């Protein structure tokens, strides 16, 4: 029979800086999932974890308990399975070209994704701008699509890590989102329950990322990789720069269109760079030697994309939604665009309708920001610099205020090295 604890004793232990025992962790996660531990008690425990942290073994056990709160997918496919997770950013559409690219190279990619909140976009919101595409699949449909197409991007099933779903919502309203042990266990519980053989993490840092500094991103990446290793997962993490929007499109349908350009062998250089870097790491973990750069440049991954979209009811050839109103921001002077702040652009896109303030809010498929110039580009006074797309023109003045001071034009721009700062492998 499983041990029983008083919730207040578990809270006091972590409040006083003690390490929670494995039985305490197993009990509190299970009891919270079943409603035996109340929200206010879990809120107190989450704040104690936020203030006092967790040892790596505690975090790994916490993750294990969250995985055990629900079902685990069984992916019986005849290819190695490998997934990718991004900690989120502005213009981060990488899953869209990456999943079909890695599948086209011979792996199977089961990508369970989420929706956007605040200034960071959500993969499901982007794909739902494609007419007919559906996010909700059954476990059987996921397995069938992986076998036939090699890639699936969809919402997590209801039975997957229900403890995380409940705890995530609680953290969002109790000021405990930023606790690295809780972030790491939240991400990894879903990914471990998903059942892939390997996982590559894109841990972002910079103004448009959740982690603002490279040091904080590294700590999170090390925690994530450590949990993966503890669970027998092949795992690695790339630290990537999110100080500037990724690509030129920020917004749902706008990012889908840009992703299709990349899949056809074109698209912005930074999107191509990061897609290829993540694909190489995923294929390495899967034991596949195909060069994804060649496959992407040839347009060879587009057919897999079209099959993936069609399999989920979407029309890959359909015209994407367009916003009813477009407002142009002009360059203030001649020169070189020196800076373009990712966070400001992301907030402006959210304000225009591309994102949501609460999980239940709707999004506009065509809303967002097009960055017609990126740092390093020459600009001329009066030429278009940014385009603001929205169905609600009353939102444009506030979006313009969000963009004040977000870009500078100078005689030159700092040279940015590779988007990838480092790779941490398990």
- Residues involved in catalysis: 85, 164, 171, 186, 190
Q: Taking Cα atoms as reference points, which of 75, 28, 77 lies closest to residue 48?
A: 28
Residue listed under structure tokens 């200034």: 119
- Contacts of 268-272 spanning 24+ positions with Cβ under 8 A: 268/374, 270/244, 270/246, 270/374, 270/419, 271/93, 271/94, 271/97, 271/246, 271/247, 272/296
How far apart are alpha carbons 97 and 246 in whole angstroms? 13
Per-residue H/E/C for the chain: CCCCCCHHHHHHHHHCCCCCCHHHHHHHHHHHHHCCCCHHHHHHHHHHHHHHCCCHHHHHHHHHHHHHCCECCCCCCCCCEEEEEECCCCCCCCHHHHHHHHHHCCCEEEEEECCCECCECCHHHHHCCCCCCCCCCCHHHHHHHHHHCCEEEEECCCCECHHHHHHHHHHHCCCCCCCHHHHHHHHHHHHHHHCCCEEEEEEEECCCCCECCHHHHHHHHHHHHHHHHHCCCEEEEEEEECCCCCCCEEEHHHHHHHHHHHHCCCCCHHHHHHHHHHHHHHHHHHCCCCCHHHHHHCCCCHHHHHHHHHHCCCCCCCCCCCCCEEEEEECCCCEEEEEECHHHHHHHHHHHCCCCCCCCCCCCCCCEEEECCCCCCEECCCCEEEEEEECCHHHHHHHHHHHCCCEEEECCCCCCCCCEEEEEEC
From edge to edge, which strands make up the β-sheet containing 234-241? 82-86, 198-205, 234-241, 420-425
């Amino acid at each position: 029979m499983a041990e029983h604890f008083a919730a207040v004793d578990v809270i006091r232990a972590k409040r006083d800086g003690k390490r929670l025992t494995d039985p305490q962790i197993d009990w509190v996660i299970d009891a919270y999932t079943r409603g035996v531990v109340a929200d206010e008690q879990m809120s107190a425990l989450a704040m104690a974890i936020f203030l006092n942290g967790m040892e790596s073994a505690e975090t790994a056990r916490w993750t294990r308990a969250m995985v055990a709160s629900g079902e685990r997918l069984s992916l019986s496919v005849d290819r190695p399975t490998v997934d990718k997770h991004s900690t989120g950013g502005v213009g981060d559409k990488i899953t869209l070209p990456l999943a079909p690219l890695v599948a086209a190279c011979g792996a199977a990619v089961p990508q369970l994704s989420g929706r956007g909140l605040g200034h960071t976009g959500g993969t499901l919101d982007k794909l739902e701008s494609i007419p007919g595409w559906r996010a909700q699949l059954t476990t059987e449909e996921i397995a069938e699509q992986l076998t036939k197409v090699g890639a699936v991007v969809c919402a997590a099933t209801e039975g997957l890590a229900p403890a995380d779903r409940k705890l995530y919502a609680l953290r969002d309203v109790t000021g405990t989102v930023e606790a690295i042990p809780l972030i790491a266990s939240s991400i990894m519980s879903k990914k471990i329950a998903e059942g892939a053989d390997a996982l590559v993490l894109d841990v972002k840092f910079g103004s448009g990322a959740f982690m603002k500094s490279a040091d904080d991103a590294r700590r999170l990446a090390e925690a994530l990789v450590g949990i993966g290793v503890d669970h027998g997962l092949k795992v690695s993490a790339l630290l990537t720069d999110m100080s500037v929007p990724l690509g030129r499109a920020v917004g749902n349908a706008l990012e889908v269109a840009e992703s299709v350009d990349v899949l056809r062998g074109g698209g912005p250089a930074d999107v191509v760079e990061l897609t290829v870097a993540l694909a190489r790491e995923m294929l390495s973990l899967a034991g596949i030697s195909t060069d994804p750069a060649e496959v992407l440049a040839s347009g060879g991954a587009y057919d897999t994309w079209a099959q993936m979209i069609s399999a989920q009811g979407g029309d890959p050839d359909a015209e994407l939604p367009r916003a009813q109103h477009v407002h142009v921001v002009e360059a203030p002077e001649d020169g070189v665009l020196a800076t373009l702040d990712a966070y400001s652009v992301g907030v402006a896109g959210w304000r225009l309708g591309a994102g949501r303030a609460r999980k239940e809010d709707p999004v506009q498929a065509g809303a967002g920001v097009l960055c017609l110039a990126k740092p390093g580009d020459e600009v001329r006074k009066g030429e278009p610099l940014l385009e603001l797309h929205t169905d609600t023109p009353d939102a444009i003045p506030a979006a313009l205020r969000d963009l004040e001071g977000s870009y500078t034009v100078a005689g030159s721009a700092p040279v940015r090295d590779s988007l990838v700062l480092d790779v941490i492998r398990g």
